[in-house]
Structure 1
Amino acid sequence: MHQTSSRLLRMTDDERPFTRDFKDLFSTLIVSLLPLGSHRVRLTKVDYTFLSEDAINNLGSLKFSQSNRMPDPKDPSRIVTTTTTTTFSMAKDMARTICQRFVDARFIESADGKLQPIYNMKGSVWQLTAKGVAILDRFCGRNGIQQKQVSELVSLHCCSLVILEREQHSDKILSDRGTVEVIFRRFVGAETRNVKANLAVADSDSLHDYEDGLTGVKMAAERRVNGKVYKDTFTGKATSDWLVDCCTIVDRREAIEIASLFVEFELIDTVVQDRSFMLGNPGCHLFQPTKYSVYQISQRGKDVINGTSSRGRPSESEAGTGSQRNGVVRDSNTQRLEKILNDPALRLLFRENLREMHCEENLSFYKDVNDFVQGCKQAIRQAESTPSSQAMDIIKETMAQAYGIYNAFLAPGSPCELNIDHQLRNNLATRMTKAVGQETGMVETLQEVTSLFENAQNAVFKLMASDSVPKFLRNAKYEQQLQNFNLDGVPGRGGVERSLSRSNRK
């Protein structure tokens, strides 16, 4: 049984692909190129590489299928296979443009170890960056793709990316003050500052300075500017390089936006402006991403790093009273989790902690269902108010999204299988199996599926509240950062309850 859908690559207002689609397209391309071969670069063979023309040819007709085999709930002797297929196709010129965007996003780089900013139509040899490997690894984990080469690449390039959340409809990065401060802490170094005694080394264009994602931006121990010596300075180019390499930023413009917020929120001070760049780019008066602009950590930035700065204004997401959940008893950990889920900066830290505990899928599912339910309700309203073939196409696309979530998180044996109640899992399997290939009554089917997804979401919420939140609050790694959030204002913070239940995922 097969569920298929097709749609155009979604584009943002500033004419770039939506980040999730863009990352999926990149990962699907790399999977299609596996196994990556060895290619000669000058006098040396480089493993895990591909040619420009191979990627362009594959992008011309790219298909990705996600399948799940399970017993029919009504007849266990019968096996039902559900397959969701996504297809990409494009002309060669568009394929080269997309590959250029992969270069700009630092997913791939030239295999000769030198900076090559232009993706040629043919002849060049390319390899994945540590960031590209991390994107690919997350995609394969979510979709149950097991490839020996992916494991080998991960073992060679272990990168801890800062996973930035985005607005669902605009794809803009959530950039409230709290989130920017979390990024800034990683920017200066997860453990210690990356200070170089040699100015030339600090300002070099090395491609592999930030491969682990934990190393801070390169700083010069001393830099003389207009006769005055400044300590621990860094260039605008080093700043934008770090943001693109170590975060899920996919466009240099986004790096400039985040770096400008570093300046606006008084986390860094300007030592030297690049006035010639400012003349050609009037919008870049706060921050210039060039090697001629120089910055240093401000006093407030040092206070944020040391945990002595009070937190700025709350984010828009946090300003509300918190989500009200049906069927969930409100205790102190429930209230803490609601606060975490309503605050982008806390979510970022919480996700990082869940990843370390190997249960990030709980938060990913929770967020995916939130986005799905919003889109689903909008699609149903449109189909009921103005029935048309276009409205039904959106309903079919939404149903395909439901299968994507089901096959990733809820189907028996799924790659990110969640720890939910057996009866709820059976109800989901029955409903999803019945829905395959169903052309009539799809709106009613979607309403039933949405209700079951929300039940599963409530179960995951309870598990995170009882198990993950206490562990997060006890983790010494986040103790200093959590002092900037009002989690103490939630009843019971002084003595965190011990976990009431434990996930069976190790």
Structure 2
Amino acid sequence: AVSEASATTRPASTAPPAARSSSRRLTFTRFPLLRKGSRELTRATSGHFRGSSISAAAPPSRADSPFFSTGAPKASRTSFARGRTEPPASDLSSAREPSAPASVRSGSGEEPGNTSGPASLPQAAHAGKMHQTSSRLLRMTDDERPYTRDFTDLFATLMVSLPLTPHRVRFRMIDYTFTSDEAITNLGSLKFSQSNRMPDPKDSSRVVTTTTTTFSMAKEMARSVCQKFLEAKFIESVEGKTDFTNKSSVWQLTPKGIHILERFCTRNGIQSAHVKAVIESNRNPHLLVILERNTENDKLHHDEQTVEILFRRFIGTTANEIQSDSDSIHEFSKCDVGVKLVKHRPTSSRQYEYTFNGRNAAQWLMDCTTMVDPRESIEIGSLFLQLKLIAPVDARIPEHTFQPVKQVQYYVTPHGERIAGWSLEEVPSSAEAIAAKSRDGMARDSNSNRTNVIIRNPSWRLLYREFLKETMCEENLSFYLEVQEFHRQYRVAISDKGDNKVETIRETLAAAYGLYNAFLAPGSPNELNIDHSLRTQLATRMTRAVGDDAAMLQSLNEVATLFDKAQNSIFKLMSSDSVPKFVKHPKYAPQLRGLDAAAASS
């Protein structure tokens, strides 16, 4: 991993108080993509605001770029805010950059701007700041793909940086599109910035916290990453192209890609007009199965309950008997119905009633869930087979290995029909029995135990997330889980005895500022409902200068303690408010069998 650290200070008599920043950048080896995030604080005299901006700088020249000589990632530059309501001119670059902030909870209203020239670091800004940076390799999975969170963040950042204007294809104009050249050029250097201005609890002046994340890569790597976006079903060609070799090829977001973009914008408070137009278009499904992943290895959870929940979404509450043999890429654009099924009349030699082909099954799984690799659809299809939810029509087809091809037919087994809820008379327990069980459970366990069990169980957590999204408070669970991941990083950082301990601490502190800006800062896009005194403590700590390495470790310890308090506060809120409603909801209660027993024994 490449790393760098620098610190400079402006004399107090001639400059505003030193700003604090910590930053991180990440690269992954197969796609040497550089990602660097910076956090900074600046004194200002204006009122509270929140702003977000994304820009794409001109890629480095061939002479200057180590991509062309060694293949190593090139460090991108960090911008500096000075309490202004828009980025300085030197931070603007060759692509669209939303920059107008607004003091609203959902984020800033942003207008695109076009300038030219690469982003540069003003010398005066550098001299007047204490600046810390940290770098590490972007995490890769065992099967050589980037972790899903980083991959989707990169995709969404790219989409916001693109103008997404109409392009002419075969004598007609298609809205919200971009070319191969635009995407590859912008991937050369992307910068995403968030700003929050808040009152300093101990000062009448104002403090600005800015989070900046920068991605950069070589041109060939950018082309490879775009190909991965295509394979993940985030984008699609409007001309039937299958690769990015032609610079003028025209692409558009898939319904899945639009929903991924919507989630990113919601989390980060982006309200750029051109992005809102895409999100509000009729191509947005507003529905995607958000699959839970193991935070250690990014693999999908394979427990039986989770697979059965996914199967219910896959097969639908009622059979989708659309009579079509279309190969359209928009076959499952709405994701509110199951996979396309063909109905048969059962006979003595053919007991099944509904069949589907492997291609349609794999396509539904990729289009309507957060899978990012086609291999994951094969993996889940194989689990459907192993759990006897489906079976191959042809006995010669392997019974445990799913084949995602049109020529292979599968049928829904009687067990699969029961799991899907088609055979209501055979469902293991009635709604009345479940309700009675829930009432009994209420007397012998607390909602806190239920909440603990739900968070630990990936299948119930998946359902709970869906419920929270419907009730407009998904940010509570998202924050709780992200703090869990932060604490994992924190434990690694403080236990590190090697030469990279300081670097690891910087990286963890940078992640803390990202969490703070997203969930806890006043005016943040997902501002949580926490106690006023705790909010004040957080603001005091997050706006305090960080000096040497020892002070940085102490700061990290204090931040971890405060995050733990905030996490406990949100846990209590979920336990007292959303969890009791969730376990009684008629849509979810039948799928929570065993929850009270697990809570009672926890």
Name the TM tier (shorter chain): 0.7 to 0.9
Could you list the per-position Cα deviations for residues 83-137 of structure 1 after superposition, in whole angstroms to 9, with x for gaps in the alignment?
A: 121111111111011000100101001124x4x4323341110111111111111
Match of 2:175 among 34, 38, 47: 47
Residue aligning to 2:112: none
Residue aligning to 1:498: none
2:205 match: secondary structure: strand
2:568 match: secondary structure: helix
The reply on whether 1:235 has 2:350 as its aligned counterpart is no
Q: Residue 237 and residue 84 in structure 1: after superposition, are their counterparts in 2 closer, same or farther (change >3 A)?
A: same
Residue correspondence of structure 1 range 105-144 to structure 2 within 5 A: 105-112=232-239, 114=240, 116-144=241-269
CA separation in 1, counterparts of 2:508 and 2:598? 40
Residue aligning to 1:381: 495
C-alpha deviation, 1:479, in angstroms? 2.7
1:106 touches 1:132 (CA, 8 Å); kept in 2? yes
C-alpha deviation, 1:169, in angstroms? 2.2
Q: Which has the higher contact order (CA 8 A, sep 6+)?
A: 2
The reply on whether 1:445 has 2:570 as its aligned counterpart is no
C-alpha deviation, 1:152, in angstroms? 2.3
Amino acid at match of 1:288: Q
C-alpha deviation, 1:489, in angstroms? 6.6
1:130 touches 1:158 (CA, 8 Å); kept in 2? yes
C-alpha deviation, 1:216, in angstroms? 0.6
1:3 touches 1:85 (CA, 8 Å); kept in 2? no
CA separation in 2, counterparts of 1:98 and 1:61? 13
Residue aligning to 2:320: 194
Could you list the per-position Cα deviations for residues 432-489 of structure 1 after superposition, in whole angstroms to 9, with x for gaps in the alignment?
A: 111567654212211111111010011000110110011112221113222x333367
The reply on whether 1:304 has 2:419 as its aligned counterpart is yes
Match of 1:460 among 570, 594, 597: 570
2:200 touches 2:543 (CA, 8 Å); kept in 1? yes
Residue correspondence of structure 1 range 165-180 to structure 2 within 5 A: 165-180=292-307
CA separation in 2, counterparts of 1:125 and 1:443? 49
2:453 touches 2:595 (CA, 8 Å); kept in 1? no
Task: Give the TM-score of the pair, scaled to structure 1.
Answer: 0.85
The reply on whether 1:252 has 2:374 as its aligned counterpart is yes
The reply on whether 1:487 has 2:601 as its aligned counterpart is no
CA separation in 1, counterparts of 2:354 and 2:542? 57
Residue aligning to 1:57: 185
Residue aligning to 1:12: 141
C-alpha deviation, 1:151, in angstroms? 2.5
C-alpha deviation, 1:374, in angstroms? 1.0
Counting helix residues as a fraction of each chain, which structure ranks higher?
Answer: 1
Amino acid at match of 2:353: K
Q: Residue 217 and residue 436 in structure 1: after superposition, are their counterparts in 2 closer, same or farther (change >3 A)?
A: farther
Match of 2:157 among 19, 28, 31: 28
The reply on whether 1:358 has 2:467 as its aligned counterpart is no
Could you list the per-position Cα deviations for residues 370-421 of structure 1 after superposition, in whole angstroms to 9, with x for gaps in the alignment?
A: 1110111111100xx23x2x32222111111101110000111110000000
CA separation in 2, counterparts of 1:224 and 1:289? 25
Residue aligning to 1:401: 511
Q: Residue 177 and residue 120 in structure 1: after superposition, are their counterparts in 2 closer, same or farther (change >3 A)?
A: same
1:3 touches 1:82 (CA, 8 Å); kept in 2? no
Residue aligning to 1:85: 212
1:70 touches 1:80 (CA, 8 Å); kept in 2? yes
The reply on whether 1:471 has 2:581 as its aligned counterpart is yes
1:5 touches 1:397 (CA, 8 Å); kept in 2? yes
1:84 match: secondary structure: strand
C-alpha deviation, 1:212, in angstroms? 2.0
Q: Residue 230 and residue 334 in structure 1: after superposition, are their counterparts in 2 closer, same or farther (change >3 A)?
A: closer
1:273 touches 1:288 (CA, 8 Å); kept in 2? no
Amino acid at match of 2:149: R
Match of 1:427 among 526, 533, 537: 537
Q: Residue 24 and residue 273 in structure 1: after superposition, are their counterparts in 2 closer, same or farther (change >3 A)?
A: farther
Amino acid at match of 1:23: T
Amino acid at match of 1:261: L
Could you list the per-position Cα deviations for residues 174-202 of structure 1 after superposition, in whole angstroms to 9, with x for gaps in the alignment?
A: 1211111110000012x4221134xxx2x
Q: Percent identity?
A: 53
Residue aligning to 1:95: 222
C-alpha deviation, 1:229, in angstroms? 8.6
CA separation in 2, counterparts of 1:349 and 1:108? 27
Q: Residue 57 and residue 351 in structure 1: after superposition, are their counterparts in 2 closer, same or farther (change >3 A)?
A: same
2:450 touches 2:595 (CA, 8 Å); kept in 1? no
CA separation in 1, counterparts of 2:197 and 2:245? 42
2:295 match: secondary structure: coil
C-alpha deviation, 1:150, in angstroms? 2.6
1:104 touches 1:117 (CA, 8 Å); kept in 2? no
Q: Residue 139 and residue 438 in structure 1: after superposition, are their counterparts in 2 closer, same or farther (change >3 A)?
A: farther
CA separation in 2, counterparts of 1:67 and 1:258? 40
Amino acid at match of 1:68: N
1:67 touches 1:81 (CA, 8 Å); kept in 2? yes
1:366 touches 1:460 (CA, 8 Å); kept in 2? yes
1:274 touches 1:293 (CA, 8 Å); kept in 2? no
Could you list the per-position Cα deviations for residues 9-54 of structure 1 after superposition, in whole angstroms to 9, with x for gaps in the alignment?
A: 3221111111100000001101111x31110011100010000000
1:195 match: secondary structure: coil
CA separation in 2, counterparts of 1:490 and 1:13? 34
Amino acid at match of 1:485: G
CA separation in 2, counterparts of 1:489 and 1:68? 42
2:390 touches 2:412 (CA, 8 Å); kept in 1? yes
1:223 touches 1:233 (CA, 8 Å); kept in 2? no
Gaps of 5+ in 2: 1-18, 28-137, 430-443
CA separation in 2, counterparts of 1:179 and 1:7? 31
Residue aligning to 1:292: 407
2:511 match: secondary structure: helix
Residue aligning to 2:199: 71
2:519 touches 2:528 (CA, 8 Å); kept in 1? yes
C-alpha deviation, 1:228, in angstroms? 5.6
2:523 match: secondary structure: coil
Task: Give the TM-score of the pair, scaled to structure 2.
Answer: 0.71
Aligned length: 452
CA separation in 1, counterparts of 2:296 and 2:166? 41
Residue aligning to 1:326: none
Residue aligning to 2:285: 158
2:199 match: secondary structure: strand
1:274 touches 1:292 (CA, 8 Å); kept in 2? no
- RMSD of Structure 2 on Structure 1 (CA): 2.3
1:138 match: secondary structure: helix
Residue aligning to 1:218: 340
CA separation in 1, counterparts of 2:449 and 2:187? 47
C-alpha deviation, 1:293, in angstroms? 1.1
Residue aligning to 2:392: 270
CA separation in 1, counterparts of 2:148 and 2:510? 19
